[in-house]
Amino acid sequence: MSKKGKKEKPRFKKSVSSILIILLWIIGLIPLFFILYLRYVQTEDEALPSVSMLENQEELLATTIYADDGVTSIGKYWKVNRTSVPYNEISPHVISALISTEDERFENHSGIDAKAVGRALANMGEAGGASTITQQLAKLIFTLKERAERKKAQQENAGPTAEEVRLQEMGRIERRLYEKVKENVIALRLEKRYTKKEILTMYLNQFDFLYNAVGISSASKVYFNKKASELSPEEAAILVGMCKNPGLYNPYGFTVKNYVDRIARNKNISKDKVTQAEIAAERAEDSLRAISRRNVVLYKWYENSAKNNPALTSTISKAEYDSLKQLPIITDYQTVDHKEGLAPYFRESLRSTISEILKEKLPNGKLKYRKPNDEPYSIYEDGLRIYTTINTDIQKHAENALKKHLAKNLQEPFTKNNKRTDKYPFAYDIKESVIENLMNSARKRSERYIKAKLRDVSEEKIMKSFEKEVPMKVFSWNGEIDTVMTPNDSIRYYKNIMRAGLVSVEPQTGFIKAWVGGPDINHFAYDHVAQGKRQVGSTIKPFIYSAGMQFGVITPYETTPNIPYCVDVQTGARPEDMTQWCPSNSGTDMEGEPVTFEEGLANSMNNVTVAVMAKMGGVAGPRAVAKLMRDLNINVREEDVVPAMCLGVMDLSLLEMVGAQSAFVNAGIYTKPTSIIRIEDRNGNVIYEHEPEAKEAMSEELAFATLSMMRKVVLSGTGASLRGTWRGDWGGITQPTAGKTGTTQNNSDGWFMGLTPDLVTGVWVGAEDMAVRFRSMKWGQGARMALPIYGYMMQEVYKDPNIHISTDEFEAPYGYANSMYNSENKTETNEDDEGGLDLGI
């Protein structure tokens, strides 16, 4: 037995050793078998992204809005804020730091590192840090594919996708292995179809750096306010460091995080027990993580530079590394929000305009503007490029001027004015029933009311909630204020805040150069450029005088007595069916001495304007004015075609008024205002191009005659404070300017129209409701409410070297010297002419 045992022992050892050798071979060959398996399945698995998806990366690309220079971005529309940039627009520092840190053998593999695969299989994906850049891109792409499938399923109200069901049936290890297989298959496909530069570019364009910064272009803008091509070595190292874990190594997140929850959870204490010292310590530790990770990236970059890694496009020396690692992290964080940035009201209006354009259909029912596959374009996902007419410099000066005047000059006297009545902020003569209707309308538009209704809260409880004091943030001209008040009081508070709108148009092209819809879009979303319509007051008068000259009943230098006038109005079919319209407020200081019609317009004399309407006649006059205004694209309602229209009682938008008055500068040609030059797809193909809409609304001579009369408004009339500095610091505009002030009934609205040879600007100022207003003309007139905004804006426009605006005189039409409108050919008033003056009182 003992001999047998001795003979069997070596045989046993030999057997064990053979088994071990076989196992070692099997384990060693696993990566090879795995890679062969990947190559086999890469054309078999339908759950993987298709070749077309890999070759057409069109998911979740933000639409960019460009200013009139075609280069400056003024905003985006997005679901995911991602803007793709080509390889040559990414800093070489980013490329080198990325390769050094994430995949130093990037140039030498075909997408999968056998050693990395073996480590991943042995550790079931828990070891991490083994993926190549191509594999990381594969994971990003597969994530996008799954997101697209879930979105489609939700739109179709379908249940879980087949892929989701399959994953739910797997265990954790099996699921991770399955996902790894798919990611590696995609990696092989990527390496087969793309160059290394293209793979790097796709990865950097797809990575989510958090805080609405998807892709290297958005991240550069959000964290450093730079283009991707302008990143410094240390900034590149920070962003590359985030690729490991953007939440953990974010250079900005620690500044805004609320650490109370984390500390309370970790220490198992209540939130109110968390001290400021503990918060500061936690924040400091987080900030050090970002620095530490950046320095790791810098070291790996230096290490690869020292090894002369041929994949690097830029290198750093030991001295540079030692210097860079000592630098503090400095960010220039830019909030990314649809409402942030320049021209927010314009961008909101543009969003609606673009959406309507993209919905246009051909006679056959197909979309006029559509993708090659006939699908509609999305402004949130398809990466469109919208080239607009907005001039960023003029826009900036316009926004600053509007806020400056309201905050510095108007709000304080307006508040004092309104506090003089116990109906604050409503005027003393407003009925309580009207006030309650206005308040109730505001309540029902509020977010508080809408949310409560969605929760099925009773009307009675909702209304009582408006009487209970609650903490809130409210708008002020010096920033938001933390306060406690009832929602009812907050409604009254906001109704007391002055609102304004401004729009500037290039008259020859109709290009909109500046658009300011209000003082602060976060608190006052209503747009007073196109959305809001208010009584236009005396800004309508240039149209009345133009119609009178076109009608042949007046010339600028004819005179008329400075007395009250009435207009005969036909009320029936018989000649005797007549009445007279005699406005009681048709003028002040009517001394009877003759004045020229030019003086009447310059000084905004209502009685002289009524005289013009009287000379045209009570029926023919309103129709002549309506025709002219309609030719200027103002949609005058039939019920507004009455003699009283000469005093501006109809409601019009600021954009309508500016577009119409631009014709006075543009030789009588009306050109429809536009804000869009063209729209391109993500590849630069033009899918929409603006076609100008223009028509002749009046003769060139008539337009210039009206313009000349409007010049007197600024030279010696109601707009004279624009030239001097005797009334306020908004004056000193001595360049050729025509204009018209406007004030509506009870001083509810103030207007000013400013016309130069190549820029026409309109300004409106008022409160949210006409029932909230100045008591007197001292502050309530357009020359005080609106004109200063124009003055402040144009002061900066004329000084700005980046803005090339004409300072030449308005150009008179050929032959104007012999025109009947020319001052050298002025005639005396002839009261016996057809359509002569009606001196009825």
SS3 labels along 552-563: CCCCCCCEEECC
Specify the 3-state DSSP secondary structure of 280: helix
pLDDT category at 121 given cuts 50, 70, 90 is low
Question: Are 529 and 502 a contacting pair, CB within 8 Å?
Answer: yes
Residue 748, SS3 per DSSP: coil
User: For helices 276-306 and 92-102, what crossing angle results, to 10°?
Assistant: 90
Rg (alpha carbons) of the chain, rounded to whole number: 36
pLDDT for 382 equals 87
Q: Which two tokens mark 623?
A: 């129709």
CA distance 120 to 98: 21
Return the pLDDT at 262.
80
The closest of 597, 586, 587 to 553, measured between CA atoms, is 597
Q: Mean pLDDT, to the nearest integer, of 146-156? A: 58
Least confident range from 253-262, 549-558, 782-791: namely 253-262
Could you tell me the two tokens for 742? 């406007």
Q: How confident is the model at residue 308, as a pLDDT?
A: 93
Band of pLDDT at residue 838, cut at 50, 70 and 90: very low
Q: What is the pLDDT of residue 27?
A: 56
Q: Which residue has the tokens 């008539």?
A: 702
More confident residue, 501 or 285: 501
- Helix (H) / strand (E) element for 504: namely strand 499-506
pLDDT band (50, 70, 90) for residue 613? very high
Question: Of 676, 691, 697, nearest to 633 (Cα)?
Answer: 697
Residue 425: asked if its preceding bond is cis (omega within 30°), the reply is yes
- Determine the average pLDDT of the residues in 716-726: 91
195 CB-contact burial (10 Å; exposed 0-12 / middle 13-18 / buried 19+): exposed
Question: Within 10 Å of residue 627's Cβ, how many Cβ atoms?
Answer: 15
Structure tokens that stand for 453 in this block: 């209704």
- On the question of pLDDT at 827 being above 60, the answer is no
* Mode of pairing for the β-strands spanning 385-388 and 676-680: antiparallel
Q: What is the largest CA-CA distance in the chain?
A: 152
pLDDT of res. 687? 95
pLDDT tens digits, one per residue of 439-467: 999 999 998 999 999 899 999 999 999 99
The superfamily (CATH) of domain 80-324 is Biosynthetic peptidoglycan transglycosylase-like (1.10.3810.10)
Q: How buried is 301 (Cβ within 10 angstroms: 0-12 exposed, 13-18 middle, 19+ buried)?
A: buried
Question: Is there a contact between 648 and 538 (Cβ–Cβ < 8 Å)?
Answer: yes
Residue 694 has pLDDT above 50, yes or no: yes
Average pLDDT over residues 718-724: 93
d(CA 334, CA 589): 56
Q: Which range (170-174, 573-577, 701-705, 777-781) has the least confidence?
A: 170-174
Tell me what percent of the residues of the chain surpass a pLDDT of 70. 82
Domain boundaries, the chain: 80-324, 505-521+534-679+686-825
Q: Which two tokens stand for residue 39?
A: 């190559």
Neighbours of 712 (CB within 10 A): 20
Say which range, 170-179, 426-435, 828-837, has the weakest mean pLDDT: 828-837
CA torsion through residues 57, 63, 64, 70, sign = positive
For strand 73-77 and strand 63-66, is the pairing parallel, antiparallel, or unpaired?
Answer: antiparallel
What integer is the mean pLDDT of 112-139?
Answer: 66
pLDDT tens readout for residues 288-303: 888 999 999 999 999 9
Question: 593 is written with which tokens?
Answer: 């001495």
* Amino acid identity, position 580: Q
pLDDT for the residue 161 = 57
pLDDT band, very low/low/confident/very high, at 257 (cuts 50, 70, 90) = confident
Confidence tier at 132 by pLDDT (50, 70, 90): confident
Which tokens is 589 given? 């200081």
Is-contact 765 789, C-beta < 8 A?
yes
Cα-based distances in Å from 698 to 625, 661, 668 = 12, 12, 5
Residue with tokens 């609405």: 212
Which of 282, 295, 214 has the alpha carbon at shortest distance from 253? 282
CA distances, 714 to each of 738, 795, 826 (Å)? 6, 15, 22
CA distances from 792 to 144, 338, 757, 764 (A): 49, 27, 19, 14
Which whole-number Å values give the CA distances from 584 to 250, 540, 800, in the listed order? 69, 19, 47
Say how many residues make up the chain: 841
- Specify the pLDDT at position 163: 56
Q: What single-letter DSSP state applies at residue 502?
A: E
Q: Is the pLDDT of residue 180 over 80?
A: no
Give the least confident one: 237-251, 258-272, 604-618, 718-732. 258-272
- Please tell me the CATH code under which domain 505-521+534-679+686-825 is placed: 3.40.710.10
Q: What is the pLDDT of residue 272?
A: 79
From residue 354, give the alpha-carbon distance in Å to each of 242, 348, 378, 513, 675.
36, 10, 10, 18, 10
Grouping H, G, I as helix, E, B as strand and the rest as coil, residue 135 is helix
**698 vs 146, which has greater pLDDT?**
698
pLDDT in tens, 43-95: 444 455 554 554 555 556 788 999 999 999 998 887 766 778 889 999 999 99
Output the CA torsion sign for 540, 542, 547, 548. Answer: positive
Question: Could you tell me which of 302, 335, 764 has the C-alpha nearest to residue 518?
Answer: 764
List the one residue out of 532, 524, 225 whose CA is nearest residue 403. Answer: 524
Q: What is the pLDDT of residue 48?
A: 54
